[in-house]
Amino acid sequence: MQLEEKSGSRKMLKFLGVLDIIFGIAGIIFGIIMFVGGGLGAVIATDSDAQVGAVAIVLVGIIMLVSGLFDLILGILSVRASNNPRKIMPVWVLALISLILNVIGVISGISSGGGSGIIPSIVGLIIAVIVFVIANNVKKEAGR
């Protein structure tokens, strides 16, 4: 029995999948910390400005938690598809969704004044493009 040699795209997909798993877990942890910390801050705060700030932290925590879950799922599916390219479609769909959301994020960042806060959005967009292109290559390899 001969083992199939993985293509460069499949190896890169696996590498990015492992990174997505790591970033997803980190996002979930930080999201939970911000959610709980902001919630406690909202309960403890005595003035309305502090409560508004705490609620904003809770909302950012929720966004980080959801983003972390998305990254974790994308990472797990990417690793799975790197081992079996016939399972690439969920990765391809999530990569496309990620690409669209990152384009929206960059556009909204630019329209709101940009500044140095736009750099993480641009980096996220570049990573989303790379993942989408690699998923598309693996999709072509699988004949889908």
Q: Which value, in Å, is the radius of gyration of the alpha carbons in the chain?
A: 19
Neighbour tally for 68: CB within 10 Å: 21
| pTM for the predicted model, two decimal places | 0.80
- For 9-48, write each residue's pLDDT tens digit: 899 999 999 998 998 899 899 889 988 888 887 778 778 8
- For 88-131, write each residue's pLDDT tens digit: 999 999 999 988 888 888 887 787 776 666 777 788 888 889 99
- For 48-77, write each residue's pLDDT tens digit: 877 787 888 888 888 888 888 998 999 999
Residues 29 and 67 sit within 8 Å (Cβ to Cβ): no
Tokens 């999948």 -> residue: 17
The residue extents of the domains of the chain are 8-141
Sequence-distant (≥ 6) Cβ neighbours of residue 97 within 8 angstroms = none
